[in-house]
Amino acid sequence: MSLLLLIPACESAAPVGTDSGPVAAGEFAGVQLTVACPDARFAAAFRPRAAAWAGTTGATVHIVEKPVADVPDADGAIVKSAQFGTLAAHGKLAGLPMAIRSGSRIPWDKLLDSYRKDLAGWGGVELGLPLAGDGYLLVYRADILAEPQHQQALKRQSPQTQIPPRSWEDVAEIAAYFSEVRGKPSLPAWVDDDHLAARFYQIAACYEREAANRSQAGASGPAVNIRSLEFLFDLQTGAPRLTRPGFVAALEWLTRSTAFRPTTAGDPVESLTRGSSVLAVLTLAELARLPHTATGVVAPQFAIAPLPGTESTFGADGQKVFGSGKVNAVPYLGAGGQIGVVFQSGKNQAAVWNLLAATAGLASSLAMLSEPRFGVGPFRNEHVYEDRCWLAYNFDPARTRKLTEALQRYVNLEISNPTFPLRIPDAELYQADLIAELRAAVTKQRSPVEALQRANAVWEKRSATVPKNDFIRWLRNSAGLQ
């Protein structure tokens, strides 16, 4: 269902900053903007920001909750990564004004590199502004996992397993143990395709790519740097890489973990609350739904840990490499984030950039983070380092610190080679192709190897409908290369 929201200008004494600083009231008096925002949840978060901006500048903002293709008169849009690539590849987007990069409103260097350069960039050129990040973390039932008899039995059964889990292998061992001793599932059901795909990419990122610290970036020369950017496709040949052992290992993990899950769809928050699940990966919006005590604090049995890494990874030769006791944690970022863009065809580009810059600023972003139901994740440096950004989730101080640390680990600014969603034209179709095979594997219709072979073949066929040079250029541009 689509919704058009008209936000008229109104009188306001509070100045709204622009690209380079505050502007006089009425700066865009009489200007009418149309902004497409297909994501209803983020549209709800964006409306108060747009209303405040319209109140100061004198503009009117029409927010249309429809796909961009269905809003031909849009001046700008707020889109996810998969949609961004289609618009960028087809030359629909206006370049980011220099005034925004050099101005004081945001400021530009306070935005996380992964968002401002990678997720909002194309071919090394910034074409958008990050307005929201995403965020995933591990929540576990501390009361259940802390019971001495369980800890002792689990240690006898799997001496290397850590509580809370540091690795995806730990998660599988804990789930297997509790499913066996309790005789019922210990993990939540797969909620939907987005959850299934997110877990696949998050685990595959750790198996398929060895984490590199920023101090190591570029040490092995340009050819290695290009290879270090590859994830779902080969950037030199355009061939899909889904049959690589890291992706197979990730799907094998998903398939194994399905044995510890209910067969019917369910809510992970409800499953954790009942104690049916002993742990679960939650989005920030799901985290906001955990039950509270009478004092308003999240119930004490819920503990927070970062997303795990893997105990091994696979080298370029396909050989498994073990981490000597360390986990390999490579972020997979941005699938649920939001990027603000301006269309070249728009008649009011300066006004849209002004609106987006105001929304990306610290005050506006903190206002969105202060409403956990929206599930807005970190996209600024302040979000990563300051506990105050996450106080609205209503944990006690110790767990608020754990939440901040988990999100620090999620974006992991020390890692120079995070992975990102597929951002080429028709990325959503490629995603659907893959999800169909992930479902076939976790429901035991096909083995993980066969499922990924089939997905790989479908991707080869789909990509062959595009001239090869164009397709490789899209892949390279999506990775920040010319």
- Contact (Cβ atoms closer than 8 angstroms) between residue 46 and residue 16: no
User: What is the model's pLDDT at position 23?
Assistant: 59
Q: Which two tokens stand for residue 36?
A: 């497409």
Q: What is the pLDDT of residue 1?
A: 43
User: What is the pLDDT, as a whole number, of residue 266?
Assistant: 87
| Per-residue b or e along 188-223, where b marks 16 or more CB atoms closer than 10 Å to that residue's CB | bbbbeeebbbbbbbbbbbbbbbbbbeeeeeeeeeee
pLDDT, residue 216, reads 61
Tell me the mean pLDDT per 10 residues along the chain, length 482. Answer: 46 34 75 98 96 96 97 97 94 94 86 95 96 97 95 90 95 96 95 94 96 66 62 97 98 97 92 96 97 97 98 92 88 96 95 95 94 97 94 97 97 94 96 98 97 98 98 96 90
Sheet holding 338-342, edge to edge: 4-7, 60-64, 32-36, 76-79, 338-342, 129-132
pLDDT for 33: 98
What lies within 8 Å, CB to CB, of 255 at 6+ separation is 441, 442, 444, 448
What does the radius of gyration of the chain's CA atoms come to, in whole angstroms? Answer: 23
pLDDT in tens, 14-33: 233 333 345 568 889 999 99
Predicted confidence at residue 220, as pLDDT, reads 44
pLDDT at 5: 47
- Three-point CA angle 48, 53, 57, nearest 5°: 150
Domain spanning 4-134+335-379, CATH architecture: 3-Layer(aba) Sandwich (3.40)
pTM over 0.95: no
pLDDT at position 224 is: 41
Class of domain 138-332+413-482: alpha beta
CA angle 307, 156, 179 (to 5 degrees): 60
- Every domain of the chain with CATH number 3.40.190.10 lies at 4-134+335-379, 138-332+413-482
* Joined tokens for residue 447: 């083995």
Give the integer Cα–Cα distance in Å for 296 and 199.
31
- β pairing state of 125-126 and 129-132: unpaired
**CA 482 – CA 385 distance, rounded (Å):** 33
